[in-house]
Each structure stands twice: as C-alpha cells, then as structure tokens.
Amino acid sequence: MNPPPLLVLRGLEYRYSDKILALRDLNLNIERGRKLALLGSNGSGKTTLLLHLNGTFRPTGGAILLDGQPAGYEHRSLNDWRRRVGLVLQEPDDQLFAATVAQDVSFGPLNLGLGEAETRTRVQEALEALRIAALAERATHSLSFGQKKRVAIAGILAMRPELLVLDEPTAGLDAHGVTHLLNALQRLHEAGTTLVFSTHDTELAYAWADQVAILHEGTVLGQGETTAMLEDRELLTQARLKPPLLLELAQALETRRDDRNPLPRSREMLLALLRERLCGTVPLAPDR
C-alpha cells in the first residue's frame, strides 16, 4: 500500500483580518520526492498558500493533512511540522539576522535543542550542499543577493526538512545566479528532499518541475504532470499565463513524443532537436 502524500490540502479557505478572501476551496496534493511548481500570476494567492504549508498561517476553513493526519497547531505539533517542512521566503533579508553566515545557519539546529557538535556537523553539511562553505565567517550584510538566498536555504536545510518550500526562488537573480541556485536545489532533490516552489514563470516551471499546480484568484485550477498542464491553453488563459516558449517551439516542430523522444524541456535539448531537423536526420512531422 502506497503511503499518503506528504501534505494534502482540502477545501482550504483563508480570509485576512480585513475579510478579504485570499484562498477559496483550494485543493492540493504534495507527493514525496517530487518537484512541484505552484504557478500563478501576481495576486493569485501563491505566497498565502505557501505560508499554510508549514503552519505559519492557519486556514479559516478546510483541512490540511500531514502524512494523512490532520495537522496540529499547538506548540509541540507546530514544532514537529516545521522540522519536516522548511519555508524559504522570497526576500532573504527577511530570514537572515545573525552576524555571520555560520551563526545564522546554526540558529535552526540550536533551536531544535541539538548540541554544539551536532549543530556544527549540520551547518557544515548545509553550507557544502549549497557550495557556500567558504562564506562561513562572512558577515551576512556583506553578501550579494544570490549569496543571501543560498544562506537562507542553508539555514532551513540545516534542520533537515523532508519538504523544502521556496517562494519565487529565482526572483532578483541574474542568469548565472539562477543556474547556480537551481543546480544546488537539484542536488538537494536528488538527495531525497521534496521541493515546492512558487513562480509566475512558465519557462521555469516547464524546464524544472515534475508537476504543476495552476493558481488563479485563490484556488487551484488544476494540478498534474508538467507538460500536460502547460499544454492546456484554455487553463493557462484562464490563469492569465502564457505557455512556455520551448513547449510552443516543440509543438510547432510537431515533435513526436515517446520514451525515446520526449519534448525538449531545456534550451540545450531544443537546440539538439533543431540541429537534427536541419541535418535531415529526423522527419519534420510524425508518421501518419
């Protein structure tokens, strides 16, 4: 029997104190070992949703299940929940507060009650995983924006969460910074961490996510395998999103899809396909 999803949200509703309805009848499954993109335009409810995933916000309606059981909001249950689900905010300065990188990353493990030796081990592992060990003694205020992002992630990673939740992880980064961060996150994923990230960038979701959940006006319009979701023009139009260019180009080339010839999901894959077509080694259209 397969275990239940790590997190399940059913009929979730959230109203801010001014009675504005931010989430409504929202359903979402977060399965272990996947990379899930929460894709939506600005104002669709992505950040509000993320703040429910580790208990920062408590819904005003609906249910959240952790390992198939109702999530608890008393102190002990919340602490256990936040050990398992780590949240990285969009602005790293909202999470960095210690004088040096090592001190900042050590805060989480020490707050869990771990000893100094175990804390040092976890800090070193987290810094090495994000490839920022050389920054351990640097002042946090002296870091670049991209370095601060990685330090913020390391601080959560040192608590060894099962699920890492990231709000717009590539926002504010240049192309090199995006590549560096995504490579680091990919290594974490391959080591067993489940990843959920919010974005309005369909290109990022298409290139990197296993699954996509499309949000609009505080609800999930649909969730499923990435390519299938991003091929649904009607759904994307409803959510005020454009399909990713790589997918549109692949469709224009009438690319055949099977296990040996998947749709290109990176610039390099698309260029390889175009070279094959230009050399005439692959037919321009599938056999009919």
The answer to whether the beta carbons of residues 54 and 89 sit under 8 Å apart is: no
pLDDT of res. 256: 59
β-sheet bridge partners, residue 101: none
Which tokens sit at 31? 């399965």
β-sheet bridge partners, residue 85: 163
21-30, strands of its sheet edge to edge = 21-30, 7-15, 61-66, 69-70
Q: Give the whole-angstrom CA distance, residue 192 versus residue 56.
A: 24
pLDDT of res. 5: 92
The answer to whether the beta carbons of residues 81 and 55 sit under 8 Å apart is: yes
Burial class, 268, CB count within 10 angstroms (exposed 0-12 / middle 13-18 / buried 19+)? exposed
pLDDT of res. 254: 66
In order, the DSSP letters of 160-215 are: --SEEEEESTTTT--HHHHHHHHHHHHHHHHTT-EEEEEES-HHHHHHH-SEEEEE
3-state secondary structure of 64: strand
Radius of gyration of the chain (CA): 20
Q: Which domains does the chain have, with CATH numbers?
A: 7-240 (3.40.50.300), 244-288 (no CATH)
Q: Give the whole-angstrom CA distance, residue 257 versus residue 34.
A: 22
Phi and psi at 146, nearest 5°, equal: -65, -40
DSSP alpha helix (H) spans, 22-92: 46-50, 75-84
Which tokens sit at 62? 């609906």
Q: Is the pTM of this model over 0.85?
A: yes
pLDDT tens series, the chain, 288 aa: 678 899 999 999 999 987 889 999 999 999 999 999 999 999 999 999 999 999 999 999 999 999 999 999 999 999 899 999 999 998 999 889 899 999 999 998 998 888 999 999 999 999 998 889 999 999 999 999 989 999 999 999 999 999 999 999 998 888 888 888 898 889 889 989 999 999 999 999 999 999 999 999 999 999 999 999 999 999 999 999 999 988 888 777 766 565 566 677 777 777 777 777 777 654 444 443
pLDDT of res. 284: 45
